């Protein structure tokens, strides 16, 4: 029993560093200019110092032109020493994820950022969270009851919920056509608990796709992608899964901008409504039976800001499964809504999730759920509404 308690506590302690982490980053914006953003605690070189940059199996030298503080970081701007080899140097930084910067006895590992916006398709990022989960409550009694100020319901069973979302993207089609608009992407999403009961969320997926990127149509559609994708969704605790082959489209809709309501200190500038949609063929497996047919899936994400210190991120998912011989237990249409509320106590550390509420069902879930997730930053809640820095 003690071991079961120790693991969640250790993961909770590690969560803040996973959510907010400074990295030393390098970018060669032009053939003769290399810039680094160094994190607090990293030794910064002095102006005039020569740096050796090891990347992509080669190395080249730069001379520091400026080194200035910038919002908690140090920005080091440097010029390539041998300008005659500048194009070769830029190639060394092309398509790699990390490099090493050396000066005196100091060695710094840096992440390499693509220089060309059209090549900004080499990326890998992830986030995860773990915390208590409440049992599903389809009739909504756990929301409010007679006392509107009552705290969120606690879970008597001690259920733990794990969420992970990771994305990987690489320019080209499986390593070919790397200097084109094509992109190969993969994703892994886990949202499950340690409980076998069907009242708890259990929605997990893995995907692999090829897309055209950087598509736009004025302010109706920007940063768009369109392509084909293969995706597997599976419940960990139940014998049910989907295998999809689909056409996909995604992007931003700038005309549906984010809004700030009831603010006295200036509006928040954030991404507008974003969406993703897919249409294609599905093989659905449930309790030993298989079904085939067309599927449509769409999700939208929208940011809203309130009272200078609160953000509400609204996410909606709509799924239509038009399967042949669909069993009565498999719904044709599924809807899932999620609202995440975060609080801005300190601009330097950003918004911290206070709580989230979700209702409905998505993916391979057969039963609608309605549940809270109480985040790790609940201790920062300022009920007076005047705190923060």
Three-class SS state of 56: coil
Single residue of 105, 149, 324, 348 touching other proteins by CB under 8 A: 348
CB of 272 to other proteins, least distance (A): 6
Of 221 and 291, which CB lies nearer to other proteins in the complex structure? 221
What secondary structure does DSSP assign to 121-152, as a single string? T-EEEEEEEEEEBPPP-TT-TTS-TT-TTPPP
Single residue of 9, 48, 105, 125 touching other proteins by CB under 8 A: 125
Hey, which residues between 350 and 369 contact other proteins (CB under 8 A)? Answer: 350-351
CA distance 115 to 39: 20
Single residue of 1, 269, 328, 383 touching other proteins by CB under 8 A: 269
CB of 143 to other proteins, least distance (A): 27
Tokens of 102: 């050396």
Hey, which residues between 195 and 214 contact other proteins (CB under 8 A)? Answer: 213-214
**Alpha carbon distances (Å) from 213 to 223, 269, 311, 321:** 7, 24, 29, 27
Of 248 and 361, which CB lies nearer to other proteins in the complex structure? 248
CB of 244 to other proteins, least distance (A): 24
Q: Does 272 interact with other proteins (rule: CB under 8 A)?
A: yes
Q: Which of 36, 32, 22 is nearest to 112 (CA)?
A: 36
Single residue of 349, 360, 367, 387 touching other proteins by CB under 8 A: 349
CB of 57 to other proteins, least distance (A): 22
Q: Are 205 and 191 a contacting pair, CB within 8 Å?
A: no
Q: Does 268 interact with other proteins (rule: CB under 8 A)?
A: yes
Q: Does 384 interact with other proteins (rule: CB under 8 A)?
A: no
Of 144 and 385, which CB lies nearer to other proteins in the complex structure? 385
What secondary structure does DSSP assign to 159-197, as a single string? -EEEEEEEEEEEESBTTBSTTSSEEEEEEEEEEEES--S
**Alpha carbon distances (Å) from 49 to 30, 66, 104, 136, 316:** 20, 10, 9, 61, 52
Q: Does 29 interact with other proteins (rule: CB under 8 A)?
A: yes
Q: Does 311 interact with other proteins (rule: CB under 8 A)?
A: yes
CA distance 354 to 352: 6
Question: Of 71-79, 97-105, 197-205, 315-323, which segment contacts other proteins by CB under 8 A?
Answer: 71-79
**Residue 4, phi then psi, degrees to nearest 5:** -65, -30
Tokens of 315: 């996410």
Q: Which of 118, 114, 116, 95 is nearest to 213 (CA)?
A: 118
**Residue 175, phi then psi, degrees to nearest 5:** 95, -15
Of 37 and 129, which CB lies nearer to other proteins in the complex structure? 37
- Residues at the interface with other proteins (CB under 8 A): 19-23, 25-29, 33, 35-37, 39, 66, 68-73, 75-77, 113-115, 117, 120-121, 123, 125, 213-214, 219, 222-223, 252, 254, 257-258, 265-272, 303, 305, 311, 344, 347-351
């Amino acid at each position: 029993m003690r071991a079961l308690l120790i693991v969640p506590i250790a993961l909770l302690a590690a969560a803040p560093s996973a959510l907010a982490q400074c990295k030393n980053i390098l970018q060669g914006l032009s053939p003769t200019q290399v810039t680094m953003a160094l994190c607090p605690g990293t030794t910064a070189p002095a102006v005039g110092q020569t740096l050796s940059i090891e990347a992509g199996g080669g190395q080249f030298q730069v001379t520091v032109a400026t080194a200035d503080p910038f919002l908690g970081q140090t920005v080091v701007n440097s010029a390539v020493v041998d300008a005659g080899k500048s194009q070769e140097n830029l190639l060394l930084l092309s398509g790699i994820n990390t490099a090493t910067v050396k000066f005196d006895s100091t060695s710094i590992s840096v992440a390499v950022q693509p220089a060309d916006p059209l090549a900004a398709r080499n990326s890998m990022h992830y986030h995860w969270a773990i915390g208590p989960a409440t049992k599903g409550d389809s009739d909504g009694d756990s929301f409010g009851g007679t006392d509107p100020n009552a705290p969120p319901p606690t879970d008597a069973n001690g259920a733990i919920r794990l969420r992970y979302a990771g994305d990987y993207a690489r320019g080209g089609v499986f390593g070919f056509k790397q200097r084109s608009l094509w992109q190969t992407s993969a994703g892994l999403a886990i949202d499950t608990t340690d409980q076998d009961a069907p009242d708890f969320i259990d929605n997990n997926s893995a995907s692999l796709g090829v897309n055209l990127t950087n598509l736009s149509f004025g302010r109706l559609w920007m940063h768009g992608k369109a392509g084909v994708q293969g995706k597997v969704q599976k419940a960990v605790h139940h014998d049910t899964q989907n295998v999809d082959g689909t056409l996909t489209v995604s992007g931003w809709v700038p005309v549906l901008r984010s809004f700030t309501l009831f603010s006295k200190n200036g509006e928040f500038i954030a991404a507008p409504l974003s969406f993703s949609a897919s249409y294609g063929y599905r093989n659905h497996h449930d309790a030993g039976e298989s079904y085939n047919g067309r599927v449509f899936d769409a999700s939208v994400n929208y940011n809203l800001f309130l009272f200078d210190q609160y953000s509400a991120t609204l996410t909606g998912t709509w799924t239509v499964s038009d399967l042949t011989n669909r069993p009565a237990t498999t719904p044709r249409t599924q809807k899932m809504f999620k609202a995440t509320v975060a609080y801005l106590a300190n601009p330097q550390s950003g918004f911290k999730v206070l709580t989230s509420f979700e209702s409905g069902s998505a993916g391979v879930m057969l039963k609608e759920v309605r549940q809270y997730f109480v985040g790790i930053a609940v201790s920062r809640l300022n009920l007076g509404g005047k705190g923060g820095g």
